Amino acid sequence: MMNEKETLVWVRSSVLDDSVALEKGDKVNVQNSLDAPGPWGWTLATVVEGHDNLFSQKHLGADEEEKKVGLSICCNKSMHNGQKLQVPVTLLRSSEGSSLYLANDMDMADKDAVDDSRSLPPDDLIDLTHVNEPSVVDVLSQRYEKDVIYTHTASNLLAVNPYKEIPDLYGHAVMETYWLAGEGTSFDDGVPTRRRSSGALARRASVAVPRRISGAAARKISVAAPRRISDGRRESGANVDGDEADVLPPHVYGISDHAFRCMMSMMEGGESDIMLASLGGKLNQTIVITGDSGAGKTTASRHVVEYTARLSMLRSRAKKIDELGYKGRKTLSQSTQGQSAFRLSRNPSMARAVNIEMRVVQSSPILESFGNARTFLNDNSSRFGKFVELQFKENGSLIGAAIETYLLEKVRLVSQSRDERNFHIFYEFLASATAEERKKYLLDELTAKDFTMTCGSGTFDRRDNADDSEQFDELVDALGLIGIGNNDMEYIFSLLSALLHISNLTLLSVNDEESKVEQENEHLDQVLTLLGLEYDALDAALTSFSIQIRNQEYVRKLPKEKAEKGLEALAKALYGALFKYIVRTINDNMRPSSTDKKTGSIGMLDVAGFEHFERNSFEQLCINYCNEVLQQQFIKLVFLAEQREYQREGIDYSEVVFGDNKEVLDLIDKKGHGIIAILHDQCKVPGTSDRTFATNIYQQFQSHPRFKASRKQKANQMFSIVHYAGSVEYDITGFVEKNKDEVPKEGSQLLESSSNPFVRKLCAIITEHHKPTTTGAKFAQNRGVGHELTTQLRDIRDRIDATQPHYIRCFKPNSDLRPGDFQPALIANQLRYAGVLEALRVSRNWFSHRYKHAEFYERYYQLAKDELKDFNGSEREKCQLLVNMVAFQIWELMQETDAVEGDDESKNMSFRVDNVGLQVGKTKVFLRHKTFEYLEYLRGRIIVNHVNKINALLRGRIARKQYKKRMTAVMSAQTYARRFIAVLKAKSILRRNAAATKIQKTWRGGRDLARYKLIKLLVAWTQAHFRGWEGREQFRQLQEDQKKRKEEQKQILQEKQRKLEEEQRKLQEKQKKLEEEQKKMEEEQKKVEEEQRKLEEEKKQMEEEQRKAEEEQRKMEEEQRKAGEERRKMEEEQRKAEEEQRKAEEEQNKNVQKTQPQDPPANKKSAPKPTPAPPQVPTADTAKAGCSCIIS
């Protein structure tokens, strides 16, 4: 029994708060551990009391007292450090809900596991004695502190982002190391670099492979010693030559190398083909890189592509060396001395066969510049997904590649969140453009701070210390190497400049329903020039739209808001087309030139990591949907497929509980009823809106377990989805518009009318993907972003199913991008939802290798050929008998290496078979990985024994032939040696005579040379003194001349200064006169203004008098009117008076006639009386005349 004090356990920190102190007997009064600094939820402790209770747990009865164990806290970061506490022993369980786990301090429970008490934790988590969450996190933490970021989990690789450059982690030398390690091991193991043996068995397994057997044959018979065998020390493994070699640590290069060798082995066939088939191997391979945003997926994918692309060079070089033999190898090594095999020439004139690797490697920086951007969580975040497929010939040479991209985040062109940037290319372009380029692309002195597209968030730099100018230089080199010429580069950079200027265009409102492009905008001319457009065409395309009614087209104006949306859609469409053009050009230049029938491929899938921001929109839903699909694929391959296989074959296995995200996928992409299907249907309806879509999904999914929408969320048009990585809240605003991703018909027609051929080429790309629409009723012509993504992901799933997948799970140690900051709680959460712990348990407890009955019997028949020689039975019976026999051999081997403790009760056959990990199914034989290694070791030992016997016979025959040749050669050598010695003696005498003559000649020459040097020195001294005197005289004369010239110049300057002062004085006098004249003119002006004021006052008086006169005239006219009335009355009275007078006269005449005789005498006639004149009435003319006199 081990010492109790050496038993380490992990205890949940929250349990310690309710624990009882051993020394005082009362509860420890402390704060909640979650609020305390240091611990992340688990605390390391040592068992000091109740050790037997820890390992002899049974179900307690209702009346039994709960057993406890005493713990001594030994965690420096815990607030309980140094305390002794009691915790319930029932907390020690195997489930994930446990609060107490055994720590990996020694071999306690798993007798097949290695001792983990060493300076560096194991490279493979499967080697841990106890697999549980705190132990795994602790191992990753210890490795991270030592800058070891890669860790194996069986065949998968875990990578923790260091957020810094680690010296010697990558590079050509490291690549070559992993290549050579792969060449030195066989393909029998899961990962070639992990092939190792250790301890006593490792030393016994140092079986030398004969030197005459090399190449493929040597690799086929290489011995794979078991991995989990130890005598208490961690030693390096033994290679096939018996020399101890260091085990290469986990690395992304190792995963890439393994995928390449799996593919090559399947193409070459042979035994390795059968062994890979036992692992479920397939010809084509896929490396799937997953993880949260900021976990380092982009870096991992770049290294995967680089290493895999360059492997073909090493493969071709190795084959050439084997073909040339020893002399050829020596010549080739001398010709390439000092050059790494992984270094590639950057000469553009390289042949395609050599240049294809460089083109594949250089595609990564191009895609990163145009498709990556700084986000809140990652400075080099991929804002698109990509699938890179490398194609190889049967001989391992790379013949081509293809890249498919998904979900480019074009909305980033028009809006960026806080602490984020637009795509890298804009900042790189602006940072490194020379004065000539700025003039060519109409940028002048503008910077990223001057464009709306690059200054929206106020963030311009990267936190990862990447220099935008240097990145741009690398981009230009990569574009040239990939096959994009200078003309196309100019077109690309012109379009980038145009997009920058487009972001600064402004639209003005004419009224509520009309708008126009501002002509005075300083960026308008640049946009028109770079895109080859006219202002009228641009204005019409952005501010109006046309509709077709009964074969007649009507044009309608757009308000400012909709016109701005059209401008943004045009910019996004142009950039999306540019990105597709670049990807197509890359693919065209990497397309295989040959059509070989037998080819293999290695794919690399890299999608944006799971995202959960403060505000999540349609882009985050699509990205998280992609991650959900990959998570389900991982679950399907690791868990579901295994379980179904075991059930079909009737194999006993320990079931592992794992999380299934099928409900989430049904919620998102279920045909006809998922969120994407509902969104697609809504986009088909004219006039649909985000609110309509929100109402539909609220009604459809109100009872769905993974869909959450509170009243507050519904009021704000939001909802939450419970993803495998946690709940994420989405804002529905913009869902319909972003899913449509429409390009107005007018925008396409505008680009088609461009005079720029490159813009017209991009327009063709736009129209082939986006059929231009004018109304929502025609949305059925477009598939929509969500629907297209669903189709692409279905294709990705089919590809992964048809290939052999290799997983790289990337993790971020903290959310602030700080180097050296390892946050266990964050890592534990990522491990939990990524299913790493479940995958570990599957790898430890399940069967990783399987053979068909016939294949197993044929491969391992030699291990029990005496027992099987006379046995006649079915294939399954033969396999069962063979399994029983090899189980006995494996059991003995395990006892020899102290891997198990043997006793009399454990030596029955069934016990052995169960413990060595062998089961016979209906059609296959299943083996655990360590059992497979033992079998390969036993088989390899038999093969090597036979090979040694054959080699002994061959060496004997060869030695006899060589002895005869050597005897003849010795006689010839002696003859030549004697002659050679005589010639040397004669030559020695001649050399002595020649040397004496040469010495004398040299002495005389030296004497004369010394005299010559002395004379030369004296002459030189004399000449130097004379030249010095002559130079000083010249210098003195020059000084005097210079002094005279200075005096003359001084006088001239003084005279000029005097004249200038005189002119200045005259100018001042003139200025004074002008000022006096100006004062006089101002006084005269004042006088004129005073007279003008008086004239205005007189004018006002005259106007007043004229008004009064007009009033008098009006009164006089009234009086004149009245006088006229009186005159008429007087005339009437006069008329009446005249009438009366006439009547009176007539009466008088009558009376006179009556009184006088009829014929009076002539002289008696009487004269009539004079009639009095009527009174004179004033007329209108006389009245006017009188008025005029009065006025005057």
Cα–Cα distance for residue pair 182/170, rounded to 1 Å: 17
* Cα–Cα distance for residue pair 1114/1076, rounded to 1 Å: 57
Is 298 assigned a ligand-binding role in the annotation? Answer: yes
Q: What is the DSSP string of 27-74?
A: B-----TTTSSS-SSEEEEEEEE-HHHHHS-----SSSPPPEEEEEE-
Q: Which amino acid is at 64?
A: E
- Measured between alpha carbons, how far is 894 from 907 in angstroms, rounded to an integer? 13
Residue 827 CA: distances (Å) to CA of 18, 133, 143: 26, 10, 13
Radius of gyration of the chain (CA): 53
CATH node for 352-606: 1.20.120.720
**Can you count the helices (H) and strands (E) in the chain?**
36, 25
Pick the closest to residue 498 from 522, 534, 524, 479 (CA basis): 524
Start-end of H helices in 772-835:
785-801, 824-834
The answer to whether 293 touches 626, Cβ cutoff 8 Å, is no
| pLDDT at residue number 265 | 84
Given a contact cutoff of 8 angstroms between Cβ atoms, the answer to whether 783 and 599 are in contact is no
**Which letter does DSSP use for residue 637 in this model?**
I
Q: Are 290 and 297 a contacting pair, CB within 8 Å?
A: yes
pLDDT in tens, 444-487: 899 999 999 999 888 999 988 889 999 999 999 999 988 899 99
Same fold? 352-606, 847-927: no
Among 315, 256, 266, CA closest to 598: 266
Which residues have a Cβ under 8 Å from the Cβ of 1191 and sit 6 or more positions away? Answer: 1109, 1112, 1113
**What is d(CA 344, CA 312) in angstroms, rounded to the nearest whole number?**
12
The answer for residues whose C-beta is within 8 angstroms of residue 223's C-beta and 6 or more apart is: 205, 207, 240, 936, 937, 940, 941, 944
Q: Which two tokens stand for residue 936?
A: 């390969």
Token pair belonging to 727: 């709940």
At 953, list the tokens.
């016979």
The model carries a pTM of: 0.68
Distance CA 749, CA 297 (A): 40
Which of 903, 533, 543 is CA-nearest to residue 753? 533
DSSP reduced 3-state for 872? coil
Cα-based angle 1061, 1065, 1071 (whole degrees, multiple of 5): 140
Question: Which two structure tokens, joined as six digits, stand for 795?
Answer: 């294709």
Residue 1156 token pair: 């006088």
What is the C-alpha to C-alpha distance for residues 79 and 99, in angstroms, rounded to an integer?
18
294 is in an annotated binding site: yes
* CB neighbourhood size of 1147 (10 A): 10
How many CB atoms sit inside 10 A of residue 646's CB? 19
Amino acid present at 847: F
Amino acid at 523: H
CATH 3.40.50 holds for 847-927: no
Tell me: is residue 972 an annotated ligand-binding position. no
**What residues are paired with 1164 via a beta bridge?**
none
> 295 CB contacts (<8 Å, ≥6 apart)?
159, 161, 609, 810, 811, 812, 830
Distance, CA of 866 to CA of 880 (rounded, Å):
15
Q: Give the contacts of 378 (CB within 8 A, at least 6 positions apart).
A: 293, 294, 817
Q: What is the pLDDT at residue 116? A: 41
**Token digits for 345?**
């020439």
CB 413 within 8 A of CB 445: no
Phi, psi for residue 1025 in degrees, rounded to 5: -65, -40
Rounded to the nearest angstrom, the gap between the alpha carbon of residue 916 and the centroid of all alpha carbons in its chain is: 47
State whether the Cα torsion 489-490-495-500 is positive or negative: positive
Annotation-wise, does 295 bind a ligand? yes
| Residue ranges, the chain, pLDDT below 70 | 1-6, 17-40, 50-67, 89-120, 184-247, 269-281, 316-354, 594, 655-658, 769-783, 897-916, 1155-1192
Distance, in Å, from the CA atom of 279 to the CA atom of 855, rounded to the nearest integer, reads: 13
- Do 521 and 504 meet the contact criterion of CB atoms below 8 Å apart? yes
Q: How many residues does the chain have?
A: 1192
Contact 247, 216 (CB under 8 A): no
Whole-Å CA distances, 244 to 119, 122, 249: 20, 19, 16
Q: How far apart are CA 675 and CA 669, in angstroms?
A: 6
How far is 1062 from 1046, CA to CA, in rounded Å? 24
Domain boundaries of the chain, sorted by first residue? 1-103, 352-606, 847-927
Q: Look at residue 773 and give its three-state secondary structure.
A: strand
Say what the pLDDT of residue 1172 is: 52
* pLDDT tens-place string over residues 639-687: 777 777 888 888 887 766 667 788 999 999 988 889 999 998 888 888 7
Residue 889 burial (10 A CB sphere; 0-12, 13-18, 19+): middle
Q: Report the Cα–Cα distance between both ends of the chain, in Å, rounded.
A: 149
Element (H, E) at 404: strand 398-406
Residue 603 and residue 624: Cα distance in Å, rounded?
Answer: 21
Contact at 8 Å (CB) between 219 and 210? no
Contact between 779 and 591 under an 8 Å Cβ cutoff? The reply is no
Pair type for strands 150-153 and 100-102 = unpaired
Work out whether strand 600-606 and strand 552-557 pair parallel, antiparallel, or are unpaired: unpaired
Kindly report the CA angle at 638 between 635 and 641, in degrees rounded to 5?
90
Consult the annotation and say whether 351 binds a ligand.
no
Amino acid (one-letter) located at 479? L
Q: Is 296 annotated as a binding residue?
A: yes
Q: In the structure encoding, which two tokens stand for residue 1052, read together?
A: 């001239």
Round to whole Å and give the CA distance between 168 and 760.
Answer: 48
82 annotated as a binding-site residue = no
To which H or E segment does residue 977 belong? helix 929-1155
Q: Which of 933, 923, 920 lies closest to 884, judged by CA? A: 920
Cα(157)–Cα(159) distance, rounded to whole angstroms?
7
According to the annotation, is 703 in a ligand binding site? no
Sign of CA dihedral 1087, 1089, 1090, 1095: positive
Strands 285-291 and 600-606: parallel
Sequence-separated (6 or more) residues with CB below 8 Å from residue 995: none
Structural contact between residues 305 and 329, judged by C-beta atoms closer than 8 angstroms: no
8 Å CB contact between 206 and 196: no
CA nearest to 824, candidates 190, 38, 250: 38
* CA angle, 184 then 189 then 195, to 5°: 55
